[in-house]
Amino acid sequence: TAPAKKNAVSAKPGPFTVETVLSVTHYTDRLFHFRITRPDAFRFRSGEFIMIGLPKEDGKPLLRAYSLASPFWDEALDFYSIKVPDGPLTSRLQHIKQGDEVLLGRKPTGTLVLDALKPGKRLYMISTGTGIAPFASLIRDPETYEKFDQVILTHTCREAAELTYGNELVAAVKDDELIGEFAREKLVHFASVTREEGPIKGRVTDMIESGELFERLGVPPLDPESDRVMICGSEGLLRDVKQICLDRNFVEGSNAAPADFVVEKAFVAT
Ligand code: A2P
């Protein structure tokens, strides 16, 4: 009865679908991007995350949370990942090639969404490392530009090579047929490095506190009257930018109660 039983199990809609890898790009020995097929029925809001995984040797799925890095209107799904040498999932996932299969969860979710923010003039998207991933989705959503006059994406990494994905992404978005026109008018990209010399060196948190960020951008300092903030990165970044927001009387928002800022930990898939 074993084969019949197996078929019966796989025919039942499980918590994930099996998708095919379309392309893989390696940026550094720590960072890579991959693109997979998207099931017709898969719907998500820009900024949400989903479970991604591979089957383990015993056949059971090994899954981790990943931010969706592609826009909701795209025909395939993008992900931006760290490589952890001893990580159960990413030590294997980093070797995927075009044509390989990966597991995709069925239920996207998250708080880094436009619905969780009140209307405002200027939207800050503050990221470090792979925390840029949900913003790769949001900066390609026309609604982002309908809701805000200016969209400021900040990305801080240790080294310049780690900024490549973001640099290429923003260039492509500004060149895009669908949203390029809005992005060229409203999207500002601010990238800094912390552990080597670069055109702009320092943590974004220090540059907010000192006012350097606003001077460089030519905008007034953070103000809950006009500004909204989305934060995605390391736990330290979340804690520090959240405190900066609270100190300036910003209120944290959620899907149920939209407000001035929202926070999501960058999923450091292991
Ligand atoms: P730093 O080099 O000063 O630690 P990581 O690779 O460790 O996730 O870090 C990514 C980037 O985030 C680094 O440039 C790091 O700066 C920066 N970073 C780490 N913690 C914070 C924080 N609490 N506030 C602002 N930036 C941070």
User: CATH number for the 114-265 domain, one of 3.40.50.80, 3.40.50.300, 3.40.50.2000, 3.40.190.10?
Assistant: 3.40.50.80
Type of residue at 216: R
Residue 152 near residue 126 (C-beta atoms within 8 A) = no
Ligand 1 near 26 CB (within 6 A): no
Ligand 1 near 234 CB (within 6 A): yes
Per-residue pLDDT at 266: 73
Residue pLDDT, tens place only, 24-39: 999 999 999 999 999 9
> Distance between terminal CA atoms of the chain?
37
> In 3-state terms, what secondary structure has residue 40?
coil
Cα–Cα distance between 141 and 128 in angstroms, integer?
Answer: 21
Residue 39 near residue 107 (C-beta atoms within 8 A) = no
| Residue 265 clears pLDDT 60, i.e. is over it | yes
Cα 128 to middle of ligand 1, angstroms: 7
Q: Where are the alpha helices (DSSP H) in 60-198?
A: 90-93, 133-138, 142-147, 164-175, 180-186
Count Cβ atoms below 10 Å from residue 101 Cβ, excluding itself: 14
Per-residue pLDDT at 12: 59
> In 3-state terms, what secondary structure has residue 208?
helix
Tokens of residue 40, six digits: 């017709």
Ligand 1 near 194 CB (within 6 A): yes
Cα–Cα distance between 176 and 180 in angstroms, integer?
Answer: 4
Domain boundaries, the chain: 8-105, 114-265
Instruction: Specify the pairing of strand 16-26 against strand 61-67.
Output: unpaired
Ligand 1 near 158 CB (within 6 A): yes
Ligand 1 near 28 CB (within 6 A): no
* Strands in the chain per DSSP E: 16-26, 31-37, 49-55, 61-67, 76-82, 101-105, 122-128, 150-157, 187-193, 227-233, 261-265
Residue 147 burial by CB count (10 A; 0-12/13-18/19+): exposed, middle or buried?
A: middle
- The number of the ligand 1 atom at minimal distance from the alpha carbon of 129 is 10
Q: Where are the alpha helices (DSSP H) in the chain?
A: 2-11, 90-93, 133-138, 142-147, 164-175, 180-186, 204-210, 212-217, 235-247
The band of 198, judged by pLDDT with boundaries at 50, 70 and 90, is: confident
Type of residue at 89: L
Residue pLDDT, tens place only, 26-84: 999 999 999 999 999 999 999 999 999 998 888 889 999 999 999 999 999 999 999 99
What average pLDDT does range 107-122 have in this prediction? 97
Check: pTM over 0.90? Answer yes or no.
Answer: yes
Nearest residue (CA) to ligand 1, atom 18? 237
Residue pLDDT, tens place only, 148-165: 999 999 999 999 999 999
Cα 198 to middle of ligand 1, angstroms: 15
Cα 265 to middle of ligand 1, angstroms: 13
Tokens of residue 141, six digits: 């959503």
CATH topology of domain 8-105: Elongation Factor Tu (Ef-tu); domain 3 (2.40.30)
Strand order in the sheet with 16-26: 61-67, 49-55, 101-105, 16-26, 31-37, 76-82
Ligand 1 near 137 CB (within 6 A): no
Interface predicted TM-score (ipTM) of this complex, two decimals: 0.98
Type of residue at 33: H
Cα–Cα distance between 142 and 236 in angstroms, integer?
Answer: 31
